[in-house]
């Protein structure tokens, strides 16, 4: 009996060292970054801000206009320093997918999804720089189910000359 047990353990050791199970994906796997172009601006000018969602293969995010009322839309709320103004957010075009958990097509974002908006710095702006904050709420899913919605904050620094 001890020989069989010893042989079993010896055969199992390589499996435990070489097997590398992939952890399950979640909304935490989605990277969110923001930038402004240019990052230095003169007073009275407009800059373009971009928030990028980097969605790994195997996951998708609900679009800003999901086709099912039970799905949570992607929404970016922007907060600018006092005096600056943010324009409306331009969302990417959704991709239509048929997934296991849904009876019909679903409007989603995959890969890199870029959300854009303009920021106006008025001619009488008194600051030397400003932090633009975005709060991005989204619902990530895989082909079988959706995860609870999350909100991520992204910060972008703008220098005013």
- Token output for 104: 């019909």
CA dist 36 and 48 (Å) reads 6
**Share of the chain residues as helix, strand and coil, in percent rounded to the nearest 5:** 10, 45, 40
Q: CB 86: neighbour CB atoms within 10 A?
A: 17
- Cite the beta strand spans of the chain per DSSP E: 31-37, 40-41, 46-55, 60-62, 75-79, 85-86, 95-98, 105-109, 111-120, 129-138, 140-141, 150-160
Burial level of 25, CB count in 10 A (0-12/13-18/19+)? middle
Residues 51 and 76: beta-carbon distance below 8 Å: yes
Q: Supply the pLDDT for residue 146.
A: 85
Q: For each of the chain's 161 residues, which pLDDT tens digit applies?
A: 555 445 444 444 454 444 444 445 667 899 999 999 998 999 999 999 999 999 999 999 999 999 888 889 999 999 999 889 999 999 999 999 887 767 788 899 999 999 999 999 999 998 888 999 999 999 998 888 889 999 999 999 999 98
Q: Supply the pLDDT for residue 156.
A: 97
Report the DSSP pairing between strands 129-138 and 75-79: antiparallel
Q: Supply the pLDDT for residue 16.
A: 45
Q: Supply the pLDDT for residue 69.
A: 85
Q: Supply the pLDDT for residue 121.
A: 94
Residues 89 and 78: beta-carbon distance below 8 Å: yes
Q: Supply the pLDDT for residue 28.
A: 80
């Amino acid at each position: 009996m001890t020989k069989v047990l010893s042989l079993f353990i010896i055969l199992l050791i390589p499996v435990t060292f070489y097997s590398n199970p992939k952890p399950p994906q979640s909304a935490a796997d989605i990277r969110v970054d923001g930038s402004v172009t240019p990052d230095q601006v003169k007073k009275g000018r407009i800059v373009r801000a971009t928030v990028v969602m980097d969605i790994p293969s195997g996951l998708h995010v609900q679009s800003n206009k999901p086709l099912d009322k039970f799905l949570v839309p992607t929404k970016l709320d922007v907060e600018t320093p006092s005096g600056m103004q943010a324009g409306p957010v331009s969302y990417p075009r959704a991709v239509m997918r048929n997934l296991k958990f849904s009876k019909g097509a679903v409007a989603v974002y995959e890969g890199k999804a870029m959300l854009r908006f303009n920021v106006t710095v008025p001619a009488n702006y008194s600051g030397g720089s400003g932090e633009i904050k975005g709060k991005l709420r989204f619902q990530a899913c895989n082909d079988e189910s959706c995860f609870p919605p999350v909100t991520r904050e992204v910060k972008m620094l703008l220098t005013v000359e």
